């Protein structure tokens, strides 16, 4: 009987170990890397999902938050509290029992599991608990719900805006109705909420962007001032707010296209500007500020840049002050609103000391950008006439 050489035995043993390690790695990879993509409302993708026995598991906290729920952990009773204005769910991580709107349900089997310190829920059970619809198309799993409130939170608070305009904040694991907010007339398909906390005043400034149309070309901004857990002021702007113009000095800027209010951290309106009276009847976006002295606004219809002296309320159309007569005639002769250069193409770029820098796209100069500098003292003189 022939014996197997020692080096062959060692080779076979090494190959066996490699094969075992490969199989273990393959199984772990199959468990950790899902072959399905799970999304919410065909937009946001749920990360870190796992596939076990052809069942898709979603990180519970992530899944509920993307469907408009606040999720918090209670170490005292080792439970997850899942909260929205319409529903309260408590999942006990030890007994695996669930309590929904006060009603206790029997222990779950494989719908919820704990893995590597994370609690997971099946995609199907997530849709069931949130009254959502689930559809599987090939390798895409989509969970959709048209009644999801707009939800946002930071370390200081959690907030919801429902489709009927009711605005809620979270108090002691219970949403509290704190006011009513007007909504844009368009049917928002996607939304996002950002929160600015004013801790010393127990106040918040909430900014909500809503997107509609295809390809999501219509944007509206809802801005809300909250003080002592009450909505004291809100305003809708029919365009996207420029983050650089959301504040002017110490004051928050609320613009609805016609009226601009400057509101301090205490929630007081310190100054307001009725642009339809100061300039003309149109819709205006804010292009920028020059300190706390001048506000630059652009009309929606004519796409022309105006400057307003914020102390005197006087206004000037800037291309009449900064451009030559020939350039002014060229602007006024362009009546094609479909032209990407329709309007005055005049933009404030920066301030360097007492010098203001503007940019202008000129047809007369061979269709090129021009830089225009003007001294602040001269700019002030524009409003003296």
Q: What is the DSSP string of 238-258?
A: SSPPPGGGSEETTEEEEE-SS
Given the structure tokens 């006024």, which residue do they identify? 332
Domain ranges (residues) in the chain: 37-144, 149-241, 267-385
Selection from 55, 50, 8, 14 nearest residue 22 by Cα:
14
Tens of pLDDT, residue by residue, the chain (385 residues)? 445 455 444 544 444 444 444 444 433 444 444 568 999 888 788 888 988 888 889 999 999 999 999 999 999 999 999 999 999 999 998 888 899 998 998 878 789 888 888 999 999 999 999 999 999 988 899 999 988 899 999 999 999 999 999 999 998 889 999 999 999 877 777 889 999 999 999 999 999 999 887 776 788 999 999 999 999 999 999 888 988 999 999 999 999 999 999 999 999 999 999 999 999 999 999 999 999 999 999 999 999 999 999 999 999 999 999 999 999 999 999 889 888 889 999 999 999 999 999 999 988 888 888 999 999 999 999 998 6
Helix (H, G, I), strand (E, B) or coil at 375: strand
Selection from 93, 116, 112 nearest residue 28 by Cα:
116
Helix (H, G, I), strand (E, B) or coil at 226: strand
End-to-end Cα separation, the chain, in angstroms: 116
Instruction: Report whether 333 contacts 327 (CB < 8 A).
Output: no
Instruction: Report whether 183 contacts 222 (CB < 8 A).
Output: yes
Selection from 327, 318, 326, 320 nearest residue 348 by Cα:
318
Given the structure tokens 């729920």, which residue do they identify? 69
State how far the Cα of 207 lies from the Cα of 193, in Å rounded to an integer: 6
Sequence-separated (6 or more) residues with CB below 8 Å from residue 234: 179, 181, 182, 222, 223, 224, 225
Residue 233 region by backbone torsions, left for phi larger than 0, else alpha for psi between -120 and 50, else beta: beta
Helix (H, G, I), strand (E, B) or coil at 165: coil
Q: Which fold has domain 37-144?
A: Copper Amine Oxidase; Chain A, domain 1 (3.30.457)
For residue 272, give the DSSP letter.
E
Can you give the pLDDT at residue 236? 95
Strand blocks (E) in 181-328: 190-198, 203-212, 218-227, 231-237, 247-248, 251-255, 259-263, 269-274, 284-290, 294-299, 305-309, 315-317
Sign of the dihedral through C-alpha 377, 379, 380, 385:
positive
């Amino acid at each position: 009987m022939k014996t197997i050489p020692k080096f062959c035995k060692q080779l076979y043993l090494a190959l066996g170990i490699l094969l075992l390690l490969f199989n273990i790695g393959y199984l772990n990879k199959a468990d950790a890397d899902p072959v399905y993509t799970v999304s919410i409302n065909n937009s946001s993708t749920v990360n870190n999902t796992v596939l076990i026995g052809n069942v898709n598991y979603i990180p519970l906290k992530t899944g509920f938050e993307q469907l408009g729920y606040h999720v918090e952990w209670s170490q005292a009773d080792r439970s997850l509290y899942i909260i929205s204005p319409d529903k309260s769910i408590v999942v006990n991580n030890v007994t695996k029992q669930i309590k929904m709107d006060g009603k206790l349900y029997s222990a779950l089997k494989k719908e919820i599991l704990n893995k590597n310190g994370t609690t997971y829920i099946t995609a199907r059970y997530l849709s069931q608990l949130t009254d959502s619809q689930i559809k599987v198309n090939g390798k895409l799993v989509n969970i959709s719900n048209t009644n999801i409130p707009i939800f946002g939170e930071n370390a200081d608070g959690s907030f919801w805006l429902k489709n009927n305009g009711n605005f809620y904040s979270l108090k002691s694991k219970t949403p509290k109705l704190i006011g009513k907010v007007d909504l844009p007339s368009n049917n928002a398909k996607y939304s996002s909420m950002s929160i600015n906390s004013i801790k010393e005043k127990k106040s918040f400034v909430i900014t909500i962007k809503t997107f509609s149309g295809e390809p999501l070309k219509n944007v509206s901004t809802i801005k809300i001032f909250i003080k002592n857990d009450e909505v004291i002021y809100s305003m809708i702007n029919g365009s996207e707010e420029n983050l650089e113009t959301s504040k002017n000095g110490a004051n928050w800027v609320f613009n609805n296209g016609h009226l601009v209010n400057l509101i301090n951290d205490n929630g007081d309106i310190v100054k307001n500007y009725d642009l339809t009276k100061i300039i003309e009847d149109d819709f205006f976006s804010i292009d920028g500020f020059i300190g706390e002295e001048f506000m630059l606004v652009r009309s929606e219809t004519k796409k022309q840049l105006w400057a307003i002296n914020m102390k005197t309320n006087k206004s000037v159309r800037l291309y009449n002050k900064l451009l030559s007569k020939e350039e002014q005639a060229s602007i006024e002769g362009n009546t094609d609103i479909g032209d990407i250069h329709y309007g005055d193409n005049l933009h404030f770029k920066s301030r360097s000391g007492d010098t203001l820098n503007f940019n202008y796209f000129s047809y007369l100069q061979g269709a090129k950008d021009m830089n225009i500098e003007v001294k602040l003292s001269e700019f002030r003189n524009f409003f003296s006439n």
